[in-house]
Amino acid sequence: MAKPHVIVIPYPAQGHVIPMMELAQCLVKQGVKVTFINTEVTHKQITSTWLDKDSFGELMVMVCIPDGLEPWEDRADFCKLNRSISKTMPSKLETLIETINNEDEIDKITCVIADDSFGWAIKVGHKMGIRTAAFWPASVATLASMLSIQKLIDDGIINHKGFPLSDQMIQLSVNMPPIKPENLLWMCFKDVDIVEAVFQMAKEAEEASTLTERFICNSAIQLEPAAFSLYPQLLPIGPFLASNRLGDQAGHFWQEEPTCLTWLDQQPARSVIYIAFGSFTNFDRTQFQELAMGLELSNRPFLWVVRPGMTKETTPAYPDGYMDRVGSRGRIVSWAPQQKVLAHPSVTCFVSHCGWNSTLEGVTNGLPFLCWPYFGDQFHNETYICDIWKIGLRFDKDKTGIITRGEIKSKVKQLLGDKTFREKALDIKEKVTSSVTEGGSSHKNLSKFIQWIQEKKTDVIQGSV
């Protein structure tokens, strides 16, 4: 009997690839064949760091299609990258699907699961008469602002280019946390061209969501009840990481340094501050050095991820004599096996940029946060952490926009000196973990989604976009 064969295609960013890889592995474990598609550059990055990529045998195939840029071109240029993707990848995806379908009658593609940021991929599946499902890797609160774009325009809150028409807080529903206009997903960039490009991508995602048959999210009803109430068609099937806290994770762009786990083994229980800022956050020299000094002044052991490219200098400029002073109390690595680090009993709190993956990893391990958002949805997640779930604190910037060493020392002391933060974090951990175990709400939704994929499609969609 033919197995269902799905295409999974994420946006080429770390925070998108990892959860879609987790989804793909869930599908494979249920006997669904997956063709996982990345851009050529992302494919090279993740296949070079994923040591066990053949563990799923023939059911998991990793392929790539070009993003349209030359190898030497700057993919950090968001506008250039997205224009090239929109121009190049739809036809390449269509050709790939046709090739797969023509090679073997039994092995035809039965469903396209696309990152909702790739609205064009959903349109390709719809055009070719293939079932489609959208996947959202970030918070549903962030997605809600995208799905509300037309309403925001109609209500005179934003203009047709996405720019807010006033500085009043935006309330999508009575129970949802308010949004500062400057924290709308597309407004978190300084460059006007990038704002307009992200807004256009958000509009396309909103349009594509009306075409897809299923819309699944890496979240749980227990984390975002108000957002799911506003858009009941969204199905929470996560967090994936809650059921795989100690497993090996695929999809990383950098090689992990597992030796830091041995260092953690030598530290006292609940003593280590873990600091990591994801794949995009950048620091200038002043802020980097203030952070370094703040960690030193905390007088606690710390594990700090300083990834390549996090500072403008090729070699990060630590304060003079820094390494000698912190000695073995501080461990600095270029990339860490974060799930295993956060699950380690020596870790006491998480200094985070509040990306959704990191937020979920911290939550599923019952850790309190110190929030340092950089851009995009990270500000929404900070609101959840500090104001809704009440499991963390914000850092305050000084008049020059710097988070000082004194502020860092003070907030570390405040967070770790108040046991209610950890108590609330452990309570949320229990609720979220229950959602992904058998009988839990996310587990049921994922099971229903897999059953839908496995159904024989008899009423094939026809038409074009």
Whether the per-residue pLDDT at 458 is higher than 50: the answer is no
**Per-residue model confidence (pLDDT) at position 198:** 87
pLDDT band for position 54 (cuts 50, 70, 90): low
DSSP bridge pairs for 100: none
pLDDT digits (tens, 9 = 90+) for 246-285: 556 565 665 788 899 999 999 999 999 999 998 878 899 9
Domains of the chain are 5-245+435-454 (3.40.50.2000), 259-431 (3.40.50.2000)
**Per-residue model confidence (pLDDT) at position 291:** 98
pLDDT band for position 462 (cuts 50, 70, 90): very low
pLDDT digits (tens, 9 = 90+) for 379-400: 999 999 999 999 999 999 999 9
Whether the per-residue pLDDT at 347 is higher than 50: the answer is yes
CB 276 within 8 A of CB 338: yes
Question: Could you tell me the sign of the dihedral formed by the alpha carbons of 419, 366, 301, 410, in that order?
Answer: negative
User: For the CA atoms of 64, 66, 71, 76, what is the dihedral angle to 10 degrees?
Assistant: -90
Pairing of strands 214-217, 60-65: unpaired
Whether the per-residue pLDDT at 322 is higher than 60: the answer is yes
Tokens of 395: 């850092």
Instruction: For residues 149 and 209, give the distance between their C-alpha atoms in angstroms, rounded to a whole number.
Output: 12
Count Cα neighbours of 363 within 13 Å in the Cβ-side half-sphere. 31
The predicted model gives 218-236 an average pLDDT of 95
User: pLDDT higher for 134 or 55?
Assistant: 134
What sections of 179-222 are H helices per DSSP? 192-209
